[in-house]
Amino acid sequence: MNLKKRLILLLGGAAILMAEWLLVRFPLFGLHGMSGWPFDLFLVGLIAVIIAGALGAKWTVLGTLAGYLIGFFCGEIFDIPISDGYHTQGPFIWACVFLAGILLGIAASVIIPLVTKRRAVN
């Protein structure tokens, strides 16, 4: 992947991730009521997008972008209140699904080129 495509992947991924964060942080704030946690996950995702974009790993960028929003909605859907009445499992579920998206993206970025190369040889 040439430098121009990597730059587009990096900047495009970062812009989409920022749009997801803005969506979760402001319009959907009433659902979760957290101000810091969405930004913390955004920073983790931004680091993943920057590294993946620099390496040209498009599947990792896609996994990160999908994991952020899917994780948020899974955290809201499967949210379980803890007995103290103040904390819930939503942020934990969100983080786990988000990290799973990043890891699946990394795996796809490694496996798909190997399979494609193997098919091209045969």
Residue in 65, 103, 66, 73 with CA at minimum distance from that of residue 90: 73
pLDDT at 12 over 70: yes
User: How many domains does the structure of the chain reveal?
Assistant: 1
Nearest CA to 52 among 13, 15, 16? 13
Question: Stretch 7-27: mean pLDDT, rounded?
Answer: 95
- Determine the pLDDT at residue 122: 67
Q: Percentage of residues in the chain with pLDDT exceeding 90?
A: 68
Can you give the residue range of the structural domain that contains 115?
Answer: 3-121
| 100: pLDDT strictly greater than 70 | yes
CA–CA gap between residue 66 and residue 92 (Å, rounded) = 17
pLDDT value of residue 59: 96
Residue 87 predicted with pLDDT over 80: no
pLDDT average, residue stretch 36-46: 94
Identity of the amino acid at 7: L
Q: What is the mean pLDDT of residues 70-74?
A: 95
Residue scoring higher pLDDT (101 or 33) = 101
